[in-house]
């Protein structure tokens, strides 16, 4: 009897330690902007896009920004998020974590087990290096996150065989020959069209309480890519 009691205590201590070590985030839909890099309007646009992805494929793509990794690596933090919040549909494990750690200037794209055979790591590296990091290197984090999220959502949608309905405008890729242009890299005459499209777009809705949480998957094995700026 005494041995069983000690066994229960030992198991309880392990569970408590695991719970303390697990990361806790405040999600607004699919976004946990702990580093306060995104405006409410951008969060809404991205959430509506990611919600459409989830409805059509069951895939959970989450965007997480952190002020600091608090001594952990960006890789283990991303895996912790994917497993703790059980991203992706049950049985499909088609979750993805797009993590940005501001203090360490590190980022990670982590994909679930169900996406490993559908999306090559080289594809994720291309998105990271061509679409995200060029913006990050100019400290234009919101633009980098916007473009990165749209590009990743399109990639997951294609892998899952669904047509993605996007809300908002995806910033153009940075060309190294025009890095001195305005923050969105659009010519000045294009801005009125963007503004009018945002005002009169029939698809524009506010992300609300209809979001039902993540799918319950959580299978992550360490497949993805990391970068710094």
Give the other-Cβ count within 10 Å of 153's Cβ: 24
Question: What is residue 23's predicted lDDT score, i.e. its pLDDT?
Answer: 79
Please answer whether residues 131 and 151 qualify as being in contact, where contact means their C-beta atoms are separated by less than 8 angstroms.
yes
Whether the CB-CB separation of 153 and 53 falls below 8 Å is answered with yes
For residues 228 and 75, the answer to whether their CB atoms sit within 8 Å is no
List, in order of start, the domains of the chain with CATH numbers.
24-203+218-228 (3.10.310.50)
> Is the pLDDT confidence value at 15 over 80?
no
Which one, of 34, 110, 84, 101, lies nearest residue 214 by Cα? 84
Residue 80 tokens read as 């912790």
Statement: residue 101 has pLDDT above 90: yes
pLDDT in tens, 114-156: 999 999 999 999 999 999 999 999 999 999 999 999 999 999 9
> Of 144, 142, 148, 156, nearest to 126 (Cα)?
148
Which of the four pLDDT bands, split at 50, 70 and 90, describes residue 213?
A: confident
Q: Identify the band that residue 220 occupies on the pLDDT scale cut at 50, 70 and 90.
A: very high
Interval 66-96: pLDDT, tens: 999 999 999 999 999 999 999 999 999 999 9
Write out pLDDT tens, residues 173-195. 987 544 444 444 455 555 555 55
| Segment among 41-55, 158-172, 187-201 with least mean pLDDT | 187-201
- Mean pLDDT score of the chain, rounded to an integer? 85
Instruction: Judge whether residue 166 has pLDDT over 90.
Output: yes
Q: Report the pLDDT value the prediction gives residue 205, as an integer from 0 to 100.
A: 59
């Amino acid at each position: 009897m005494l041995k069983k009691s000690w066994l229960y205590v030992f198991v309880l201590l392990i569970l408590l330690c695991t719970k303390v070590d697990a990361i806790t985030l405040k999600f607004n839909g699919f976004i946990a902007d702990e580093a306060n890099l995104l405006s409410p309007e951008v969060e809404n646009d991205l959430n509506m896009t990611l919600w459409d992805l989830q409805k059509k494929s069951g895939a959970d793509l989450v965007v997480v920004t952190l002020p600091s990794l608090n001594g952990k690596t960006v890789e283990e933090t991303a895996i912790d998020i994917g497993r703790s919040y059980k991203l992706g549909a049950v049985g499909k494990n088609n979750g993805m974590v797009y993590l940005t750690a501001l203090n360490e200037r590190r980022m990670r794209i982590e994909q679930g087990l169900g996406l490993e055979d559908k999306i090559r790591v080289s594809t994720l590296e291309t998105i990271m290096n061509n679409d995200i990091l060029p913006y990050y290197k100019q400290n234009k984090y919101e633009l980098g996150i916007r473009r990165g999220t749209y590009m990743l959502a399109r990639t997951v949608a294609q892998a899952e065989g669904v047509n993605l309905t996007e809300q908002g405008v995806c910033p153009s890729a940075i060309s190294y020959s025009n890095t001195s242009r305005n923050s969105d890299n659009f010519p000045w005459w294009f801005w009125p069209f963007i503004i009018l499209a945002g005002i009169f777009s029939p698809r524009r809705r506010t992300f609300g309480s209809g979001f039902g949480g993540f799918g319950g998957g959580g299978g992550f094995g360490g497949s993805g890519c990391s970068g710094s700026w």
